[in-house]
Structure 1
């Protein structure tokens, strides 16, 4: 998992509330078990017309926000089913930050496990972000995870909270497997000891 420290990027505004996981990645695309390849289907029903072409009215299809890594969304983002494919699709598309006033709990937790920083802001702060981004499409935000701040083009600074353990994990680029592998020498030593003390649990390959 890539480490997250200070990140400056174009921010895409999606001023919609209650965006659920079936809108993020519709159920017909949940046929793969690997984490890649879902970005092309992100927000599929909004993003494409019936003939498969891009919907020119959809927010993420606007030329000013191409390459955006930060998504600013309305209340209760990621509600609905618990599918982890939703953060997979968001990350595969290229987003590493989602800003909203609130997130569904399971989606919120899954974001951290997949290298995405979900940031909760107040209603007034979200309104300010939408105002700036909608007035100046293509504007950039700077997110500093170490200082827990968002800097806007107008010079405003928003402070946000983040759990210390999750913060450290993102700063170090550690997912659950990464945390486990930090203890690999101890795991190896334990297995070697088990092989000596309980050899019948470790049948030979012969």
Structure 2
């Protein structure tokens, strides 16, 4: 897997399951922790392992070369369900940097970008085409260009996508929402100075 600030490239694993919810992405038994560490083991646990804890050989993440993909190609409504942020944390710990699907759960979408997990929305027919291209060989890798906002397939096809400029900058610059806000620190201080100059009594109330 290769990564630069403007590009994500690497193995892509197709999991074409519609309505794959956050409970499936990160089952409840892996939520009994205080920190974030160790969540990679829980990602899609019930799909990856059987009742005895043995790997299911037919599941894509247990196939040679697909164990730690940089990119997932998911089904419609990926990440629906509960608001657990652990689902995003676990995917990132597994090495996933981007998910491509035709639609995403709303809360998962926000959690993902706030943690710098790139989500790309494409028409279902294009998602299906990408899934077919990467399904037979992990050497058939994808490239995501965040400057041109295109996904490049193993066959040389390019699929254009759009994301909000704020989200794009967060991914490219490695910033969370606080970091992105602090880029405007000088403007915030100037606004504060003007505000308290016009209403000095507010400073006293604010400090009280």
Aligned counterparts of 1:141 and 1:34: Cα–Cα separation in 2: 32
TM (normalized to structure 2)?
0.84
Runs of 5+ unmatched residues, structure 1: none
Residue equivalent to 2:141:
140
Contact 1:3 1:173 (8 Å CA) reproduced: no
Gaps of 5+ in 2: none
The alignment covers a number of residue pairs equal to: 198
**Which secondary structure does the structure 2 equivalent of 1:52 belong to?**
coil
* SS of corresponding position for 1:64: coil
* Structure 1 equivalent of residue 125 of structure 2: 124
Say if 1:11 and 1:138, in contact at 8 Å, map to a contact too. Answer: no
The residue aligned with 2:7 is 6
- What's the counterpart of residue 98 of structure 1? 99
The residue aligned with 2:162 is 161
User: Does the 8 A contact of 2:13 with 2:135 survive in 1?
Assistant: no
Q: Which residue of 2 aligns with 1:56?
A: 57
Q: TM-score, normalised on structure 1? A: 0.85
The match for 1:78 is 79
Tell me how far apart the structure 2 counterparts of residues 109 and 77 of structure 1 sit (CA, whole Å): 13
Shift in Å at residue 138 of structure 1? 3.9
Q: Over aligned residue pairs, what C-alpha RMSD do you find?
A: 2.6
Equivalent position SS for 1:129:
helix
SS at match of 2:41: helix
The answer to whether the Cα contact below 8 Å between 1:101 and 1:123 also exists between their aligned partners in 2 is yes
Moved more, 25-34 or 154-163: 25-34
Please give the alpha-carbon distance, in whole angstroms, between the structure 1 residues aligned to 2:162 and 2:181. Answer: 26
Query: Which one is further off, 5-14 or 32-41?
Result: 32-41
Q: Mean alpha-carbon deviation: is it higher for 157-166 or for 167-176?
A: 167-176
For residues 104 and 29 of structure 2, what CA distance do their matches in structure 1 show?
A: 23
Q: Which residue pairs with 1:68 in the alignment?
A: 69
Distance 2:185 2:34 in 1: 26
Q: CA deviation at 1:3?
A: 7.5
Structure number with the bigger relative contact order (C-alpha 8 A, sep ≥ 6) is 1
- 1:171 equivalent to 2:172? Answer yes
Work out whether 1:19 is the aligned partner of 2:20: yes
